[in-house]
């Protein structure tokens, strides 16, 4: 970071954070090697990232992009199930199931995922995304009958627990 620019910024506004709004803030620093550490706790992650090949970096970015599309869609879909107090445990299980099942795709699902990511890269309006409109249907296809049974059990247990909590806090009936 150029100390003279920082000093000029301080003179100009009295707030160094205002520098983040300046064009020069985003310019490349010739002394910067591209890596930034966040302390000792981040060192294993930092070392892991440095050990990756360019192909592995690309794969991680693709996975992050895919999950940034699928997880909001999954949440919206599960919210539509009307689970009430069972929402949280069911949603957590659907996420875990999604992560597990993304590793075991059918022959046509990788093509759909590639089309979904490509469509996302075009930055179209939501109503102009026909591939994304298929997300709920494709998510449903990722779940097996055993997955659905497990989700139903979790939902039922959550509702049962909610009813039992209400019954324990209800006043006792008066007997004559």
Mean pLDDT to the nearest integer, 145-173: 87
Domain boundaries, the chain: 54-168
The token pair at 67 is 């999950």
Helix (H, G, I), strand (E, B) or coil at 14: coil
> With 0-12 CB in 10 A as exposed, 13-18 as middle and 19+ as buried, what is 129?
middle
Reading the block at residue 144, the tokens are: 């097996």
At residue 143 the predicted structure's pLDDT band, cuts being 50, 70 and 90, is very high
Q: Is the pTM of this model over 0.75?
A: no
Mean pLDDT in residue range 7-36: 70
pLDDT digits (tens, 9 = 90+) for 107-133: 999 999 999 999 999 989 988 999 999
Within 13 A of 141's CA, how many CA atoms are on the CB side?
13
Mean pLDDT of 148-170: 88
Residues 105, 113: contact at Cβ < 8 Å?
yes
Residue 37 has pLDDT above 60, yes or no: no
């Amino acid at each position: 970071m150029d100390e003279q620019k920082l000093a000029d910024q301080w003179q100009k506004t009295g707030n160094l954070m205002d520098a983040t709004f300046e064009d020069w803030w985003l310019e490349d620093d010739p002394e910067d090697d591209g890596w930034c550490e966040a302390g000792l706790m981040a060192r294993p992650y930092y070392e892991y990232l440095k050990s990756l090949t360019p192909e592995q970096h690309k794969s991680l970015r693709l996975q992050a992009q895919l999950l940034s599309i699928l997880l909001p869609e999954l949440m919206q879909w599960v919210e539509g199930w009307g689970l009430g107090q069972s929402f949280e445990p069911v949603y957590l299980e659907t996420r875990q199931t999604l992560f597990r099942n993304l590793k075991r795709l059918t022959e046509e699902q990788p093509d759909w995922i590639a089309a979904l990511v490509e469509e996302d890269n075009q930055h179209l309006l939501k109503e102009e995304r026909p591939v994304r409109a298929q997300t709920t249907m494709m998510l449903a296809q990722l779940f097996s009958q055993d997955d659905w049974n497990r989700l139903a059990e979790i939902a039922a247990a959550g509702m049962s627990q909610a009813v039992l909590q209400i019954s324990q806090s209800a006043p006792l009936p008066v007997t004559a």
